[in-house]
Amino acid sequence: MRARIIIGSPMSRPRAPIIALGAVLAALVAGCGQTAVITRSRTIYVALTEYRLAPQSVQISQGPVTIFVHNYGRLTHNLVISRSGLRQASSRALWPGRTAELVVSLTPGRYLIASSVLSDQSLGAYGTLRVTS
């Protein structure tokens, strides 16, 4: 199934932002069902939109990791990392177009990564972070 995105009139807007938006949306859709395995860089890039967090599954070895969170949506979102219901780290609330940086060091285990603003998590803005030894 092909999706067609039309944003305004092609004559009324510059092409670069439309192309960039298309690239972001394609990356979010392509990331479905895949685990991003982070090795040397120790950096994770998380994209937030309405009802979506990408990548939804991340694996990294234990130790310090830098997480860049960017809100590509039209509403405010954040990122919370929790384990067994206990918050381990979180970003501030991000307005559309804003980015936050988190530096965390997590012990091995499985963590929930989610936006906790309003009902984001129940609407699909969540994923898992697996930390290996």
Q: Please state which of the four CATH numbers 3.90.550.10, 3.40.1010.10, 3.90.1150.10, 2.60.40.420 is assigned to the domain occupying 34-132.
A: 2.60.40.420
Which of 37, 38, 31, 93 is CA-nearest to residue 65?
A: 38
Q: Is the previous residue joined to 55 through a cis bond, with omega within 30 degrees of 0?
A: yes
* Per-residue model confidence as pLDDT tens digits over 43-89: 999 999 998 899 999 999 999 999 999 999 999 999 999 999 899 99
Structure tokens at 51: 């009802």
The mean pLDDT of 112-123, rounded to a whole number, is 83
Give the alpha-carbon dihedral of 17, 3, 32, 89, to 10 degrees: 40
User: What is the reported pTM?
Assistant: 0.71
Parse the chain into domains and list their residue ranges: 34-132
Distance CA 130, CA 37 (A): 9
